[in-house]
Structure 1
Amino acid sequence: MNTTALIRPAWTPATIALMVIGFMVFWPLGLAMLAYIIWGDRLDGFKRDVNGATDRIFGSCRKAGSWKSHARTGNVAFDDWREKELERLAEERRKLDETLAEFDAYARELRRAKDQQEFDRFMSERSRNTPAPTEQRKPAKRGKGSEGLLDDV
């Protein structure tokens, strides 16, 4: 670690002041500064260890994730069987995806037909319940002095 830095993991006036200000502003900030003062010198090693571990994990995932590029085991019969099984599974997956798409289209058409039936029923009930538009209202009698003020609706 650089010992000339103003903010370094040590009990310096700057780090103590930042810790106190952190506790006054928002207590987790002060706690984080305290943790940095106490364990900050271990951060480089911790970071190196974490990076190494994640590289190993994701490296193995990268190898296992691509089933078409599996390394040959040396047993030709097993490798051929594995390739055939993986191709069969891929074909099954494709068939399942096609069946799912067909079912989604079928369900969508059923919903559309049901919605159309409900709409048609609503429109027929509405037309039975509303008066015919050809009926005319009888004009209201006008009283004396109401001529020309308001038209009857």
Structure 2
Amino acid sequence: MNTATPSPIAYDRQPGIFAKAEMWLDERGKGAWIAAMVLGFIFVWPVGLALLLYMIWSKRMFSKSCTKMTRSAARHMNKSSGNSAFDAYKAETLRRLEEEQDKFEDFLERLREAKDKAEFDQFMNDRAKSTPNGDHDEEPNRPA
């Protein structure tokens, strides 16, 4: 007979009122957060200030809504369907999509670097053409 008590993590806890409010606002996007903050400032200014500080601290204020997954979406994505074959397929597809996203982000980074290099090379060529004999301005107080 197993008399060990389960860990507190094993229990499914119902989210509190603040967690429910946070999930509700997350599902509606950044506009809902801003509206709640403005209403907080209008009716009870410390609530508005608290929401503003929380939005800045949690990076909700400056993030793009499409790049950040809400908790409810994450919960649905990780939820098992009960079909192990489908769950394996879903896990493999998600892994492959994340890998493709990483490759695409690397490609975009290389593209930005190439564009920056081309712009810098163009700047240096224009600068060389604008100075007589290709001489560049020397920094003052610098030994030759």
Which TM-score applies when normalising by structure 2? 0.38
Q: RCO (CA 8 Å, sep 6+): is it higher in 1 or 2?
A: 2
For the pair shown, the structure with the greater C-alpha radius of gyration is: 1
